[in-house]
Structure 1
Amino acid sequence: MPERNYVQVKYDSVQAYARVGGALYLTIIIIGLLGEAVIRNSLVVAGDAAVTAQRILESELLWRLGVAGQLVLLICAVALTFIWYVLLRPVNRNITLLAVFFALISLAVESVSALHLQAVLTPLSNVALKVADPQQLHALAYLSVVSHSQAFGVALIFFGVECLIVGYLIRKSGYFPKLIGTMMQIAGLCYLINSFSLVLYPPLAMLPLASDQRR
């Protein structure tokens, strides 16, 4: 294959990966916003387990759609991590692999947070548990909501480090605008500050939606 044609094919391949990555990023953002603003923000009442349980039971399908959406988001995020590796590997393969490792740990912890969202329905819809005190069941369901928020906060610590690394690679690439890399590093720093604030000041963790926004 002539060198010019080879370069063109390689350029087209990179462009294709970049387009798919952009589509995945947009999908992740939309699902994340819908999950927070439309579902959790409308159904979860901070500090009120009984009202939260009532709202979730009245909109159980909506809650389940939110859980399913979170799983789709995770699938898209895994694919996006691969695309970041393909696009940034030429800059520095070892540092790109480091970013991938942080991304996969973040996604693993975020998967646990999704399980907590699913677990919210167990004490509310399980017939075998109906003999228990409703207040206890509501408390268990609300505890799962809070556990989701806390696990998500931990996931964002690893994601924040990933953003710092990816931002660095973007700035060094020469084929991505440096401004994008700088903005990603600022975002990563904000994620780290937010998540460590939840750890160092526990009352913040009582707000289930305080840190429920990724990417």
Structure 2
Amino acid sequence: MENKTNSLKKTARLAGLLYLLLIITGVYSIIFLSSRFIVQGDAVATAKNILANEFLFRTGFINDLISNTIFVLLVLVLYRLFKQVNERLAKLMVALVVVQIPAVFIMEAFNITTLMLFKGELLKTFELSQRQEMAMLFLKINDFGLVALEVFWGLWLIPFGQLVFRSGFIPRVFGTLLIIAGIAYIVDGFVSLLFPDFSAFVNRPTLLLVAIGELSITLWLLIKGAKNNISTD
């Protein structure tokens, strides 16, 4: 029994470590990098920003690949942690993460294409302004892709939150916070797609709810691990 408890705690702490790394890579990509390069509606300024900081822009490719590798590893560790609680929900949680990965690789291809267009390595017969507008189109498509992924970021948190709530070895409050964060992600994604003029009104509340939900479970897993008792369905 003691060995099983220790194994559970080790698995929980590994999940916490992976979650922390995922948050760090996500902040670097979405908050730090995006704000440095993109000037909405200004292809020339965006091109200058990217070309002047090409290496930094390229680190975004590597960061996203690392981030999504961590994401897959995280959900597999979480599956191992929660499969005894409810295997059906645990499998659903894994599926909602795995289906995102192909979209991420497609979006990275758009980012690489954007850089090549700004550098003049593609469509060389086109005018500079035409290549820049084409590059901005790829960036815009990438933005829409992020919004679509945001819905899936929310969807996977809901079964995750349910598993935490039912587990018995993690306080139920963290499960509730994860479900709320998941719903916030989904609402924010749909508002951005359907009512883009109102997206600014929901972005900050969403960020707050997500930060509370995901940071709290990350710290709990990393520091506390898991309690002894396990609830199963």
TM exceeds 0.5? yes
| Aligned twin of 1:4 | none
Amino acid at match of 1:92: N
Task: Indicate conservation of the 8 Å contact 1:109/1:152, yes or no.
Answer: no
Task: Indicate conservation of the 8 Å contact 2:120/2:131, yes or no.
Answer: no
Q: Which runs of 4+ in 1 moved over 4 A?
A: 202-205, 209-215
Q: Does 1:65 align with 2:75?
A: no
Deviation at 1:131, TM superposition (A): 3.7
Give CA-to-partner distance per residue, 1:152-196, whole Å, 9 cap, x none: 211221221111111011111111111111111111011101111
| Aligned twin of 2:223 | none
| Aligned twin of 1:150 | 144
| Aligned twin of 2:43 | 49
**3-state SS in 1 of match to 2:126:** coil
Amino acid at match of 2:126: A
Q: Does 1:96 align with 2:90?
A: yes
Q: Does 1:109 align with 2:103?
A: yes
Task: Indicate conservation of the 8 Å contact 1:124/1:141, yes or no.
Answer: yes
Which structure is higher in RCO with an 8 Å CA cutoff and minimum separation 6?
2
Q: Give the root-mean-square deviation of aligned CA atoms.
A: 2.4
Q: For 1:17 and 1:201, locate their aligned partners in 2 and report how far apart those are by CA, in whole Å.
A: 41
The alignment covers a number of residue pairs equal to 206
| Aligned twin of 2:34 | 40
Deviation at 1:9, TM superposition (A): 2.1
Q: What are structure 1's unaligned runs of at least 5 residues? A: 1-6
Q: For 1:167 and 1:94, locate their aligned partners in 2 and report how far apart those are by CA, in whole Å.
A: 14
Task: Indicate conservation of the 8 Å contact 1:45/1:51, yes or no.
Answer: yes
Aligned equivalent of 1:129, options 110, 119, 123: 123
After TM superposition, the score normalised by the length of structure 1 is 0.86
Q: What are structure 2's unaligned runs of at least 5 residues? A: 215-233
Amino acid at match of 2:28: L
Q: For 1:95 and 1:179, locate their aligned partners in 2 and report how far apart those are by CA, in whole Å.
A: 18
Amino acid at match of 1:76: I
Matches within 5 A, 1:183-202: 183-202=177-196
Cα pair distance change 1:10/1:172, threshold 3 Å: same
